[in-house]
A and B are shown apart, each in its own frame.
Chain A
Amino acid sequence: MSKIPVIIAREYRSRVLKPVFIITTLLVPFLMALIGILPFWIMSASKTSEKLAVIDESGIFLHQLKSSDELQYVFVTEPLDSLLNTFGEQGYTAILHIPAAFHLDQPDGIRYISDEAPGFTTAELLSEQLTLVVTRLRLQQVNLTPELVDQLSKPVSFTTVIKGKEGNIGLASAVGYFSGLLLYVLLLVYGNMVMRGVMEEKSSRIAEVIISSVKPFELMSGKIIGIALVGLTQFAIWIVLGLLFFSIFSGLLPDPQQILQQYAEVPDQPAADTPPTVAMAQLMQEAQNLPLGLILFGFIFYFLFGYLTYSSLFAAFGAAMTDESDQSLSLIVTAPIILAFILGIIAMGAPHSGIAVFGSIFPLTSPIVMPARLGFDPPTGELLLSMISLLLCFLLFLWMSAKIYRTGILLYGKKVTLREIGRWVAYKN
C-alpha cells in the first residue's frame, strides 16, 4: 500500500490547522484588493486641486475657462505686481497671467507664475484647456456658432466586438491583471512553502528517518500534493466568501438590466455624466460577455500545473541547500516567476504581440502570462500549445527534481554547487 496519503494528510493538517492559515486566508483577499487598487487609489489621491488666480488682461478667457476638480480658475482684477506678493496668502497655488497683447492668431505670452513648478498632469490639463478655448474662439471667428462648434467637436467613443461579442478592454485587462498578480503571489508563496518544508525536514534531520520507510519520491510528492490541497482549500474558502459577499450585496443592488433599460429611456446623456449605478450595471453586463468559464478553468489549470512545475523545482533546491541561510539557490527558481510577472504586464498592454505569445507558451512563464491574456480570448491553438508544453515541462521537472531531491536530502554540511546538482540528475540511484 502506498503511504503517500498518510504523508499528504500530515502535510495538509499541519498547515491548515494552524491559526496563521485562517488569518492569512481571511486577510489575503483584502491585501490583494489593496495591492490591486492601491496604484489607482494613489493616483487619484495624488490628484491636486489647484486654485489659479487668473489675470486676464486680454479679456479673451473670461467666462471661457471652466473650473473643474483639478483646476479652479478665479478671475481677479488685482494688478500682477501686488498679487505676486500675496497670492500664496490668498490661497492661490499660482497666477495665470494672460498679457493684454495676447492674440488668438498669435497665442503666446501666457505665464504660469508660482513658487513651485506645476505637476505634469496639471501642466498637461492647463495646456489642453487653454488650447480648447482658443480653438473654439477661432472657430467662432470663422462664423461657426457655439452650438455648431459643440456639435463638431463631440468626442467619439467605440465599442469593441471580439468574435461577435461586445467586450470591454478595460475589464479584460483588469481580470488579466488580477489573475496574473494572484498567480504570481500564489506560485511564490506555495513554492516557498514547499521549499521551506523540505529544508525543515533536512535541517531537523527527520528526512532520513522517513525515507527509510518510504521512497524519497513519495515523501516529495506527498508534500507537494498536501500543500496543493492547502492552496485549493484556500481557493474554496475564497470562492465561498466571494459568493456570500456577492449574494448579500446583489440583494441590495437593483437589477442591472432594469437600470440600463431605465437609463436608455432618458434621451441624450453626455457620456461623461453617466451615474455610477449605471456604470456599474454596464460593467456587470460586460462582465457576462467575458469568457468567464475559460478564465476560471485557465486559472485553476495554470495554478495547478504552474504550482506543480515550480514546487518540484523548489523541493529539489530545498533538498540541495544545506542550511536556511544558504538560500541563494532559490533565486534561480524565483527569477523566472518574477520574469513571468513582468511578461504578464507586457502581455496586457499588447496581448497579441510576439513577446506575449512567447511568454504564454513558454512553460516557465505561461502559468502567469497565459491567464493574464485569457480575458482577451487568445487563439485556441496557442492555448493548447501552452497547456501541452506546461504539462511536458512539469513531467520533465518532476523527473529531474526527484533525482536531485533523493541525493540532496541525505547530504549534510556541504555547500553544493549547481554543477554538482546537475550531476545528481545523472545518478542511477
Chain B
Amino acid sequence: MNSVSLLSLQNVIKNFDKVRALDRVSFEVPHQSIFGMLGPNGAGKTTALRIITTILKPDAGQVFFNGDVLQDKHAAHIGYMPEERGLYKKMKVGEHLIYLARLKGLSAQQAQKQVRFWLEKFEISDWYHKKVQDLSKGMSQKVQFLATILHQPSLIILDEPFSGLDPINSKLIEQEILSLKQQGATVLFSTHRMEQVEEFCEYIILINKGRVILSGKVSDIRQQYKRNEYSFHYEGTRPDLPPHVQIIRDVNHELVVKLPPTHTGNDLLRELIVRNVRVTAFAELLPSLNEIFIMQVKATSNE
C-alpha cells in the first residue's frame, strides 16, 4: 500500500519510570525525503528513533510505516545507525557485514553479494579480511554506515551520523545520503549541527523535552519565522533612510535593516531608488535554523 507518508507518528507517548520521554509526538516523514530531527540533548530524539526502529514500543499513540501499523517485520525495511554504535572487535569486516545483513533477513548469498558490491563502491574491498579492531575510527565509521544501508532499506535512520566524523568522511556520507535519496530511499536523521540541516534537509522537526515544538518544510519554517529584515549593498556614502527603517548593521557597504510589519521589501527598494542610492545587491534575511532553534528552545524552556 502506498500512502502519502512513509512514516507517520500519531500522538506517541513514552514514559520511563516517572519521566515522560515523549509527549504526544506526531509528525509525518514524506516518501523520498531527507528529514532532520533536531533538539537539545535529552529532548527525546533517541527515544523517538528507537520507537521507529521497533526497539521500543510506545506506551500510547500509533506509528504507521507505509500505511501499515508499524510491526517487527518492518525492521527489514529500516536501516538504523544508532548514536552509540560499534562493531564486534574480533570479527573481520566482511563476515561482520554479512552477519548484520543476514540479521536483516538477507540470505547468505545475497548478503555476500551486497557486501562485495558496497565495499567495491567505497573502494575498500581490501578491508574484507581486515579485523575490525585494526580499523581506524574513521574506517570503522564507514563500515558502520555500510552496515546500515547494505540491505537496501527504504527508510534509513541515522542518530547523530556526523558526530565524531572527520570532514572527509562527513562529506562522503553526506553525498551518500543524497545519492540514496535519489535512488528512492527516505533518510531520517537526528543532529544538532544546524548548518548540515540547512544544507540538505527538506523537512525538519524540533523536539524539546519530549514535545514537538516545530515541524514542517525547512523553507516554510524560515518564512514563518522571518523578522522583516533585509540586507543590501550600496556604493558611495551611506544613504539617509526614513525613520521607520531600523539599522542593525553597517559593515563594508552592506546595510542590514529591520522594517516595521507595515512595510515590505518593495517599500524599502522604492525608498532607495527615490534617494538615488546605487544598490548592487538586495536580499531578504531569513533567520537561520540555528537562530530559530535557539529561540524556540529558550521559549519552551522558560515556560
A212 at the interface (CB under 8 A from B): yes
- B103 x A214 contact (CB < 8 A): yes
- B102 x A3 contact (CB < 8 A): yes
Q: Which of B87-95, B165-173, B295-303 forms contacts with chain A?
A: B87-95
CA–CA, A208 to B99, complex, Å? 15
CB-based nearest B residue for A216: B55
A206 at the interface (CB under 8 A from B): yes
A10 at the interface (CB under 8 A from B): yes
B 69-84 binary contact with A (CB < 8 Å = 1; else 0) = 0001001101011101
A284 at the interface (CB under 8 A from B): no
- B104 x A14 contact (CB < 8 A): no
A 60-101 binary contact with B (CB < 8 Å = 1; else 0) = 000000000000000000000000000000000000000000
CA–CA, A206 to B80, complex, Å? 12
- B82 x A10 contact (CB < 8 A): no
- B88 x A410 contact (CB < 8 A): no
CB-based nearest B residue for A7: B103
With an 8 Å Cβ cutoff, the count of chain B residues facing the other chain is 31
- Interface of chain B, main secondary structure: loop
- B102 x A212 contact (CB < 8 A): no
CB-based nearest A residue for B157: A212
CA–CA, A215 to B55, complex, Å? 8
A 398-429 binary contact with B (CB < 8 Å = 1; else 0) = 00000000000010100000000001000011
CA–CA, A386 to B159, complex, Å? 49
Q: For B87, what are the chain A residues with a Cβ–Cβ distance below 8 Å?
A: 204, 206
- A212 x B55 contact (CB < 8 A): yes
CB-based nearest B residue for A1: B105
B 91-135 binary contact with A (CB < 8 Å = 1; else 0) = 100000001101111000000000000000000000000000000
A47 at the interface (CB under 8 A from B): no
Which of A205, A210, A412 is packed against the most chain B CB atoms within 10 Å?
A205
B54 at the interface (CB under 8 A from A): yes
A209 at the interface (CB under 8 A from B): yes
- B105 x A209 contact (CB < 8 A): no
Q: For A208, what are the chain B residues with a Cβ–Cβ distance below 8 Å?
A: 55, 80, 82, 84-85
- Say which residue of B53, B76, B82 sits within 8 Å of A205 (CB atoms): B82
Which of B72, B103, B104, B144 is packed against the most chain A CB atoms within 10 Å?
B103
- Tell me the chain A residues, 3-22 only, with Cβ under 8 Å from chain B: 3, 6-7, 10, 14
- Tell me the chain B residues, 235-265 only, with Cβ under 8 Å from chain A: none
- Say which residue of B17, B84, B89, B103 sits within 8 Å of A412 (CB atoms): B84
- B103 x A204 contact (CB < 8 A): no
A213 at the interface (CB under 8 A from B): yes
CA–CA, A375 to B140, complex, Å? 55
- Say which residue of B81, B103, B147 sits within 8 Å of A6 (CB atoms): B103
Q: For A428, what are the chain B residues with a Cβ–Cβ distance below 8 Å?
A: 57, 59
- Say which residue of A3, A6, A212, A214 sits within 8 Å of B82 (CB atoms): A212
Q: For A205, what are the chain B residues with a Cβ–Cβ distance below 8 Å?
A: 82, 84-86
Shortest Cβ gap from B173 to chain A (Å): 16
A333 at the interface (CB under 8 A from B): no
- A209 x B85 contact (CB < 8 A): yes
CB-based nearest A residue for B51: A429
For this complex, 28 residue pairs linking A to B, each with C-beta atoms less than 8 Å apart, are A3-B105, A10-B99, A14-B88, A200-B89, A204-B86, A204-B89, A205-B82, A205-B86, A206-B85, A208-B55, A209-B80, A209-B81, A209-B82, A209-B85, A210-B103, A211-B55, A212-B53, A212-B54, A212-B82, A213-B75, A213-B76, A213-B103, A214-B75, A214-B103, A410-B50, A423-B17, A429-B56, A429-B59
Taking Cβ atoms with an 8 Å cutoff, the residues of B that contact A are: 17, 50, 53-57, 59, 72, 75-76, 78, 80-82, 84-91, 99-100, 102-105, 144, 147
A213-B75, A410-B55 given. 12 additional CB < 8 A pairs?
Answer: A6-B103, A10-B99, A204-B87, A204-B89, A206-B86, A206-B88, A209-B85, A210-B100, A212-B55, A213-B76, A213-B103, A412-B84
Per CB-CB distance, the 10 closest pairs between chain A and chain B, nearest first, are A205-B86, A429-B57, A213-B103, A212-B80, A208-B82, A204-B86, A212-B53, A205-B84, A6-B102, A206-B86
Taking Cβ atoms with an 8 Å cutoff, the residues of A that contact B are: 1, 3, 6-7, 10, 14, 200-201, 204-206, 208-215, 410, 412, 423, 428-429
